[in-house]
Every structure is written in structure tokens, then in C-alpha cells.
């Protein structure tokens, strides 16, 4: 079957059913009158890290009602993305009804506002990660009842709960982010596996044929030796605490071959120069 997005009835269900799972931004904002708002947005992603930019996309209206999140971001230029994890999935769902602008979803869902450092909208205290954001720009997509505001925001400060950060990494087993599938369907992200990314080897005898995958067993234990893709030996490096991470070490043979490849180019340039001088 081939589907034309312009003519297929209910195409929104097709596209949101195939681009899955999506992370969920629980976006907190404040109205110019001071009403706190929080609502879920799964048209959400990170698009660069220096500068750190995130995007969310909001339809302008839900039926006759204008969406408060988009209006508040337009009016104040600030918002906080709170990451949705399993513990707060139900509270998140409660906030998704089209409540009147003067009602705060923090009260409706029993969530606690925690002060932000650099922006006015509060964070959701129950979320383990909060991204304080300043508006970069809003790009209008579509028109009429289909109009969306694609919000690009710069992350100016990140709050991470101490127990989910492991050195410079976020421990996914502890974070437990919730994924959005189609419609009312969601997924847990607790069945995690690791796949080591291969590196390109110009020497055909070192070509990558198969990269084994391993089920991620949480923080590495001393028994784990994650696979190394191309000839190099595996090594475990002790990180903060008793955790170990995979590292690929170059063997002496690989080092020699790399030196020889560079020298070979040098020799060629040298001989070409001699030939040229001789003519």
C-alpha cells in the first residue's frame, strides 16, 4: 500500500503510528497573568547540543480552544521541558485534557511546582530531569485548523536527579523514560540492549563483518566484557563507583599498520617530487 499524506483520511494516525516510540516533553509554562500550566508534547526532540536546542510542535488549537502552552511560550519566551518517566505517566495523562486557561494542571494532577533558576516557569518536582529553556524561534507549519507552531528552544540549564547520573552518563535503567506509541498506547524502556558502533577500517583484512549485540545489564558488572567490533581487545575502565565501561584498545599490529599507511603516502609524495624535479 502506498499512502499520499495529502489525500489519505486520518493520515495523522498513520504518521504518528510509525514514528514511534516518541519521547514525551512535559512542558511547564506560565501565563502573563501568572497561571501555571503543564501539558504533554510528544512532537519533541533534541536537535543539537552546542548550542543545546530542543523542539516541540504544538497545534495552535484543540477544537475551539487555543493551546495554552504555545500561547504562553509566545507571550513569555520561556518554558521548561520535564522528562516523562513511568512514575509520573498517569499524572502526565491527567494534564492532557483541554482545561480552561485559568485552571492549573499542577493542581489538577497533584504535581508540585519547583522554582527554576533561569526562567520563570516552574519545574515539575516529580520529574527527574528538567530542561530550562528560552525561546529561540517559532516556525509556523500548516494553516487553519492544521496550524502548528514548531517551537525551537535553547536549553539554558539542566537539572538531573543525582541518583540517575553515572559519571557523565544518564543511567537509562534508573531513568525509565516513558515512550509514546500511537494514540493512547505507551511503552516502557526497560528492555534495553547494547550494540557497539563499528569503526571504518580502510585495511580490507580488518573489515567489519559482524558486530555482536549484547543485552544491556544495567551498570556494567565485573563479569561483563562488552564486545569490541574490529580486532582490538576489550578492556574495562573503572568509572565512578564500581562500574566499568567498554573501551576499544588498538593492538600493536593495528598501530603499525596505521603508521605504515601514513608513511606510504609520504613516500609516494617524495618520489613524485623527485620524478618532477628530474624532468
Ligand X SMILES: Cc1cc2nc3c(=O)[nH]c(=O)nc-3n(C[C@H](O)[C@H](O)[C@H](O)COP(=O)(O)O)c2cc1C
84/175 with CB nearer ligand X? 84
8: buried, middle or exposed (CB in 10 Å: 19+, 13-18, 0-12)?
middle
How far apart are alpha carbons 183 and 148 in whole angstroms? Answer: 18
| 30, 36, 69, 82: residue in contact with ligand X (rule CB under 6 A) | 69
59 binds ligand X (CB under 6 A): yes
**Cβ distance 170 to 132 under 8 Å?**
no
Grid coordinates representing 245 are: 565501561
In whole angstroms, the minimum distance from the beta carbon of 210 to ligand X comes to 38
| 28, 42, 104, 127: residue in contact with ligand X (rule CB under 6 A) | 42
| 28, 30, 55, 67: residue in contact with ligand X (rule CB under 6 A) | 67
In whole angstroms, the minimum distance from the beta carbon of 29 to ligand X comes to 8
Phi, psi of 132 (to 5 degrees): -80, 125
| 8, 35, 52, 57: residue in contact with ligand X (rule CB under 6 A) | 57
| 23, 28, 30, 40: residue in contact with ligand X (rule CB under 6 A) | 40
Nearest by Cα to 39 from 70, 61, 15:
70
Residue spans of alpha helices (H) in 138-251: 172-175
How far apart are alpha carbons 111 and 194 in whole angstroms? Answer: 34
**Cβ distance 223 to 236 under 8 Å?**
no
In whole angstroms, the minimum distance from the beta carbon of 89 to ligand X comes to 9
The footprint of ligand X on residues 75-104 (CB under 6 A) is 93, 96-98
Q: Site for ligand X (CB under 6 A): how many residues? A: 19
| 28, 36, 54, 68: residue in contact with ligand X (rule CB under 6 A) | 68
39/85 with CB nearer ligand X? 39
Identify which range of 57-65, 199-207, 214-222, 254-262 contacts ligand X by CB under 6 A: 57-65
In degrees, to the nearest 5, what angle opens at C-alpha 145 toward C-alphas 80 and 53? 25
79: buried, middle or exposed (CB in 10 Å: 19+, 13-18, 0-12)?
buried
136 CB-near residues (< 8 Å, 6+ apart): 53, 152, 153, 154
The footprint of ligand X on residues 121-180 (CB under 6 A) is 180
In whole angstroms, the minimum distance from the beta carbon of 144 to ligand X comes to 15
15/97 with CB nearer ligand X? 97
| 23, 41, 113, 153: residue in contact with ligand X (rule CB under 6 A) | 41
**Cβ distance 175 to 129 under 8 Å?**
yes
In degrees, to the nearest 5, what angle opens at C-alpha 79 toward C-alphas 124 and 18? 85
| 23, 28, 43, 133: residue in contact with ligand X (rule CB under 6 A) | 43
23/226 with CB nearer ligand X? 23
How far apart are alpha carbons 66 and 57 in whole angstroms? Answer: 14
Give the residues lining the site for ligand X (CB under 6 A): 24, 37, 39-43, 57-59, 62, 67-69, 93, 96-98, 180
Amino acid at each position: 500500500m502506498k499512502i499520499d499524506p495529502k489525500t489519505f483520511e486520518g493520515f495523522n494516525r498513520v504518521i504518528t503510528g510509525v514514528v514511534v516510540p516518541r519521547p514525551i516533553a512535559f512542558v511547564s509554562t506560565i501565563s502573563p497573568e501568572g497561571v501555571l500550566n503543564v501539558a504533554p508534547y510528544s512532537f519533541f526532540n533534541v536537535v543539537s547540543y552546542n548550542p543545546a536546542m530542543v523542539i516541540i510542535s504544538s497545534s495552535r488549537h484543540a477544537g475551539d480552544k487555543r493551546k495554552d502552552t504555545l500561547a504562553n511560550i509566545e507571550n513569555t519566551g520561556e518554558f521548561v521541558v520535564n522528562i516523562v518517566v513511568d512514575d509520573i505517566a498517569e499524572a502526565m495523562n491527567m494534564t492532557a485534557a483541554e482545561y480552561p486557561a485559568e485552571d492549573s494542571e499542577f493542581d489538577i494532577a497533584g504535581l508540585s511546582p519547583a522554582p527554576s533558576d533561569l526562567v520563570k516557569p516552574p519545574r515539575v518536582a516529580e520529574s527527574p530531569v528538567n530542561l530550562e529553556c528560552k525561546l529561540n524561534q517559532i516556525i509556523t507549519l500548516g494553516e487553519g485548523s492544521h496550524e502548528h507552531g514548531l517551537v525551537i528552544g535553547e536549553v539554558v540549564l539542566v537539572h538531573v536527579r543525582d541518583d540517575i547520573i553515572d559519571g557523565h552518563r544518564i543511567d537509562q535503567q534508573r531513568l525509565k523514560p516513558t515512550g509514546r506509541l500511537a494514540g493512547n498506547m505507551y511503552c516502557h524502556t526497560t528492555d534495553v540492549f547494547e550494540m557497539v558502533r563499528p569503526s571504518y577500517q580502510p585495511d580490507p583484512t580488518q573489515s567489519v563483518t559482524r558486530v555482536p549485540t549484547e543485552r544491556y545489564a544495567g551498570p556494567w558488572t565485573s563479569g561483563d566484557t562488552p564486545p569490541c567490533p574490529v580486532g582490538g581487545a576489550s578492556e574495562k575502565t573503572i568509572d565512578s563507583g564500581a562500574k566499568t565501561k567498554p573501551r576499544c584498545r588498538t593492538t600493536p599490529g593495528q598501530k603499525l599498520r596505521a603508521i605504515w599507511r601514513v608513511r606510504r603516502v609520504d613516500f609516494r609524495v617524495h618520489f613524485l617530487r623527485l620524478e618532477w624535479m628530474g624532468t
